Structure 1
Amino acid sequence: MKEVAIGVKCQNIRNFFKGLKVCVASAWYPHANNPYHCIFVHDFAKRIRRAGAKVFVFTIIHSREDKKFEMWDNIPVLRVKVNTILSFFNPFKFLSFFKVFNKADLIHVHAIDVFGAFSILIAKLIRKPVVVTVHRADVLPSNSLFLNILRIIAFKVVDAIIAVSKATKKLALNVGAPANKITVIYNAVDETMFTPRSKSLCRQKLGLPQNSKIILFVGNLIPRKGVEYLIRALPIILTKIPNVLLVVIGDGPQRNELEHLAKELNLEQNIVFTGRISTEKLCLYYGAADIFVLPSLHEGHPMVLLEAMASGLPVVATKVSGNMETVIHGKNGYLVEPKNAHQLANAIIKILSERKQISKFGKASLMIYRKKFSEEKQICKIAEIYSRILRSKF
C-alpha cells in the first residue's frame, strides 16, 4: 500500500499519484466491436496515468473478438466473461475479481450497474478502498428489484461516490446514495488533443470548403441525441445562411433513418455523415467547425460539449441536465428547448450570422472550460478523494 500524505495539494499531484496502483473497473469500456464504446472511461484511465498513477483496467468480454488481456494506449486491460447475474456467484469468477483487485491500492469503479455494484462489494470484502463514479444512466430508477437492492448495498459500503454533474447527483440520491459520500466532479478532456486549431488548415486537411459555415454534431445516432431536430432545423437555417454544411460524426441504429430524412428534405448537399472516426481526425473536425450543436433529449455530463469548448467553439445545446451546467446561456452559446427545431435554428442563426459572434462565443467557451472543467481541476479533486479514503484505511 502506498504511503499517504496528510492531505494533497494540486501542485503535488504527481508526487501523490506516483506509484499508486489504481484499478479502473467498469463494464462500460471500449471493445473489439466498438472501440469508441464509453470511451470516456478509457480517457479517465489515461488521465490518472498521466498524473502519475499505475493504472490497469478490469472490464467484461463483450464478444469472441475480445481478448482476456490486451493493451489499450499502453494501459493493461483485463477482461472477464460474465454473461448473467448468476455468473457473479460463480466461485471462479469471484476468484478472477479477487486476483485483479488484490493487485491494486485502490479500486475506481465507473457506473453502478450489476458489474459495478458487484465490483464494489468484492473490493470491500477484501478490504480495498473503493470509489464509484456515476454517470446518469446507471442511477436512473430501475424496474429490477434485484438491481435496486444491490445498488443500495453498494452505495452503503463504498468509500466515496463521484457524480459527473449536479443533476446526476440528484438522481443518485433518489436511488439510495448517501448524501455525505457524494462529490460532484465534472468530466474533463485531453487538452493536448482538444485545443483551438487553425480553421483553414483543418478544413484543408479534411477536404472541407473554406467558405462554408460548418455546424458540427458528435455522438451516437440514437433517438435521445435529438439529431432529427437538428436536421429539421437546417432548412430554416439555410433561408438565412445559404452556405451551411452540417457534419454529423458518429454511428448508431438511427443512421439510416436520419440519412433518409436528409434526402427527404433535399439536404444531401448540406449534410455529411462521417460515421465513427479516430480521435485524431475528430480533433480536426472540431478545429474546422464554426459551431457545435448538441440537441439531446437528456444527458449526464456530455464529453462532446467539453471537447467543443476546449477547442474554442460556440455551442448550442438543449435545456437538459448536464448541458445546463456546462453552457452559459448568452455567453458561450445558447440553450434551447429539446425537440424544438425552430429554437435550434434561431439560436444557430444568431451565432453564425456574424463572424464577431462566432469569435466572441468561442473565446468564452474556452475560458469557461479552463476555469471550471480543466483536467487539472478534475485530477486535483480526485486526488483529494483518493487521499482521504486511503488515509482512513490506516
Structure 2
Amino acid sequence: MVSPAGCRVLFVIDSAATGGAEHVIWSLLEGLPRSRVEPYLVCPASGPMLERYRQAAASVAALEGRSCLSPRSILQIASLIRRWKIDVVHTCLYTSDVGGILAARIAGAPRVVSHIVGRNFYVTEERGLLRMRRRLLSLFYRLAYRGADRLIAVSEAVKRDLAERRGARVPPGKITVIRHAPDDGLAVPAGEVERARQQLGLREDAVVLSAVAHLIPIKGHRYLVQAMAQVAPMLPRAVCVLIGDGPERGALERMAHSLGLNGQVVFAGACDGALKRAVVQLSRAVVLPSLSEGLPVSLLEAMALGKPVIAADAGGMGELVADQVTGLLVPPADPAALAGAIRTLASDEALSGRMGQAGRRRIEEAFSSREMVQRVTALYEGLLG
C-alpha cells in the first residue's frame, strides 16, 4: 500500500541533454503531486537539463559510472534504491532501462516502470547484418523488459513496436499508452523573434522553415537537405534552420555546401529553449523527416505555437499530425515528396496559417500535461496496490 506521505519514485535517465525523453521526465518531476509522489532522480553529472532536474526533484544523484550500463552505476543505483527507500523505479532511455531494471531487482525494489519514448525496432531491411541486428535487439530488449512490471509507451506505434514478434514481444497487457504533451501556456515573449532573426542572420523577407532534432541518422536530415536543393531554385527566399547538434553535422554541412545551399540551410547548433521557440515562431512551417519516431516533443511544441508541420509518416507521426489539416505527411526517406510539401506551405501563407491554427486546437483538445501526470500517478498507485 502507498504510505500517507505518498510513494517514493526514483527516475533513472542516462541523459541530461535537451531531447524529448529528457523533457518528458522533467515534466513528470515538475508536475507529480507531492502529496502522493516524492520524486528522486539519478542522471549524468552534467548537461543543460541538470539544473532543471535539481529544481524539480526531491534529490538528485550523479551517476558514478560512464552510463547506466556500467557495473559501478548499477551498484550505485541499487544502493540509492535502498537508501531512499524507493517504492517505484521509473526508467527512461534504453541504457537506463537495462541498467535501472537490473539495479532495481538487485535492490529488491517493489515495482519497476520503463518509459519507452521511441521505436527501437524500426529496421525494415531483412537481409544480412541488419537482419542479425534486428534479431539481437529483439532478444536484448525481450530479456530486459521481463524485469519491468509495466511499460509506458508514448504512442500506439511504440506499443505495437514493443509487442510485435520482430520487437521485444512484450505482452500487450503489460503496456500502457500515455501520451506526453508540450508545456502548458507555451509562448514566445515579444521581441524574442526579432532577436532570433538577427542572431541567425536571417533576412527580413526570408521564408523560414525549421527542424528541431539531434543531428543523428535516424532523424533524416539528409533527406531534408536534399529536398531543400529541389526547393531552392523555385523559392530562393526559403531558408531552413536546423536546430540541434550531433555526429551528422559535419556530413550535413558538406552536403549542403556541395548542393550550393550556402545561406539556405542554416546550422544553428544546440539552442536554449527561448531561442528554439523563437525560431519556431518565425517559421512558416516546422519539418521533421525522421525515419522513426515515438511522439516527438518538437512537433508537439510547434503545433502548440500554432505552426503547421511537415513530417515523414513514420511511427507515431500519424497519431499526432492530421494530414492536410494540421500539416502534411510524406513518405519517409523521400526528398522529392518532402520538397513538394515544403513548396506547398512555403508558397501559401494563408494555408500555412489555417493548418497552424488547426494544429493548436488539436494540441489543446487532445494533449494535456495534467492528464499525463494524473495517469502516471494512478499507474504508480495501482502497481503498489
Q: Post-superposition shift, 1:318?
A: 0.5
Q: Post-superposition shift, 1:94?
A: 6.6
Residue 91 of structure 2 aligns to a residue whose secondary structure is strand
Residue 274 of structure 1 aligns to a residue whose secondary structure is strand
Residues 322 and 196 of structure 1, relative CA distance in 2, 3 Å threshold: farther
Match of residue 106 from structure 1: 88
Match of residue 56 from structure 1: 40
Match of residue 182 from structure 1: 175
Among 128, 136, 144, which residue is 1:143 paired with?
A: 136
Q: Identify the range of structure 1 (204-213 vs 370-379) with the bigger mean alpha-carbon deviation.
A: 204-213
Q: Following superposition of structure 1 onto structure 2, how do residues 129-208 of structure 1 map, counting pairs within 5 Å?
A: 129-137=111-119, 141=134, 143=136, 147-148=140-141, 150-155=143-148, 158=149, 160-174=150-164, 175-192=168-185, 194-195=186-187, 202-207=193-198, 208=202
Residues 162 and 145 of structure 1, relative CA distance in 2, 3 Å threshold: closer
| Aligned partner letter, 2:104 | A
Does residue 1:337 correspond to 2:321, yes or no? no
Q: Post-superposition shift, 1:219?
A: 0.9
Residue 371 of structure 1 aligns to a residue whose secondary structure is helix
RMSD over aligned Cα, in angstroms?
A: 3.1
Residues 277 and 148 of structure 1, relative CA distance in 2, 3 Å threshold: closer
| Aligned partner letter, 1:185 | I
Residues 233 and 139 of structure 1, relative CA distance in 2, 3 Å threshold: closer
Match of residue 7 from structure 1: none
Q: Post-superposition shift, 1:60?
A: 5.1
Q: Post-superposition shift, 1:142?
A: 5.2
Counterpart contact for 1:195–1:312, Cα < 8 Å = no
Residues 197 and 370 of structure 1, relative CA distance in 2, 3 Å threshold: farther
Q: Post-superposition shift, 1:109?
A: 1.7
Counterpart contact for 1:196–1:312, Cα < 8 Å = no
| Aligned partner letter, 1:79 | A
| Aligned partner letter, 2:343 | I
Match of residue 62 from structure 2: 79
Among 252, 266, 269, which residue is 1:272 paired with?
A: 266
| Aligned partner letter, 2:9 | V
Residues 343 and 185 of structure 1, relative CA distance in 2, 3 Å threshold: same
Q: Post-superposition shift, 1:148?
A: 4.4
Residues 42 and 142 of structure 1, relative CA distance in 2, 3 Å threshold: farther
In structure 1, C-alpha distance between the alignment counterparts of 2:280 and 2:204, rounded to whole Å: 14
Q: Post-superposition shift, 1:179?
A: 1.5
Residues 93 and 72 of structure 1, relative CA distance in 2, 3 Å threshold: closer
Match of residue 363 from structure 2: 369
| Aligned partner letter, 2:215 | L
In structure 2, C-alpha distance between the alignment counterparts of 1:147 and 1:103, rounded to whole Å: 29
Q: Identify the range of structure 1 (253-262 vs 204-213) with the bigger mean alpha-carbon deviation.
A: 204-213
Q: Following superposition of structure 1 onto structure 2, how do residues 169-248 of structure 1 map, counting pairs within 5 Å?
A: 169-174=159-164, 175-192=168-185, 194-195=186-187, 202-207=193-198, 208-248=202-242
Match of residue 13 from structure 2: 26
Among 63, 67, 79, which residue is 1:96 paired with?
A: 79
In structure 2, C-alpha distance between the alignment counterparts of 1:277 and 1:150, rounded to whole Å: 37
In structure 1, C-alpha distance between the alignment counterparts of 2:68 and 2:143, rounded to whole Å: 11
| Aligned partner letter, 1:195 | A
Residue 292 of structure 2 aligns to a residue whose secondary structure is coil
Q: Following superposition of structure 1 onto structure 2, how do residues 231-310 of structure 1 map, counting pairs within 5 Å?
A: 231-310=225-304
Counterpart contact for 1:290–1:352, Cα < 8 Å = yes
Match of residue 379 from structure 1: 373
Residues 145 and 138 of structure 1, relative CA distance in 2, 3 Å threshold: closer
Q: Post-superposition shift, 1:240?
A: 3.3
In structure 2, C-alpha distance between the alignment counterparts of 1:307 and 1:339, rounded to whole Å: 24
| Aligned partner letter, 2:81 | F
Identical residues among aligned pairs (%): 26
Q: Post-superposition shift, 1:291?
A: 0.4
Counterpart contact for 2:287–2:310, Cα < 8 Å = yes
Residues 232 and 149 of structure 1, relative CA distance in 2, 3 Å threshold: closer
Among 72, 84, 101, which residue is 1:120 paired with?
A: 101
Residues 139 and 151 of structure 1, relative CA distance in 2, 3 Å threshold: farther
Q: Post-superposition shift, 1:236?
A: 2.6
Residue 210 of structure 1 aligns to a residue whose secondary structure is coil
Q: Identify the range of structure 1 (162-171 vs 140-149) with the bigger mean alpha-carbon deviation.
A: 140-149
Q: Post-superposition shift, 1:87?
A: 5.2
In structure 2, C-alpha distance between the alignment counterparts of 1:91 and 1:329, rounded to whole Å: 44
Q: Following superposition of structure 1 onto structure 2, how do residues 318-329 of structure 1 map, counting pairs within 5 Å?
A: 318-329=312-323
Residues 139 and 177 of structure 1, relative CA distance in 2, 3 Å threshold: farther
In structure 2, C-alpha distance between the alignment counterparts of 1:258 and 1:26, rounded to whole Å: 29
In structure 1, C-alpha distance between the alignment counterparts of 2:357 and 2:102, rounded to whole Å: 45
Counterpart contact for 1:249–1:275, Cα < 8 Å = yes
Counterpart contact for 2:303–2:359, Cα < 8 Å = yes
| Aligned partner letter, 1:202 | V
| Aligned partner letter, 2:12 | A
In structure 2, C-alpha distance between the alignment counterparts of 1:344 and 1:149, rounded to whole Å: 35
Counterpart contact for 1:203–1:209, Cα < 8 Å = no
In structure 2, C-alpha distance between the alignment counterparts of 1:85 and 1:26, rounded to whole Å: 8
In structure 1, C-alpha distance between the alignment counterparts of 2:52 and 2:210, rounded to whole Å: 32
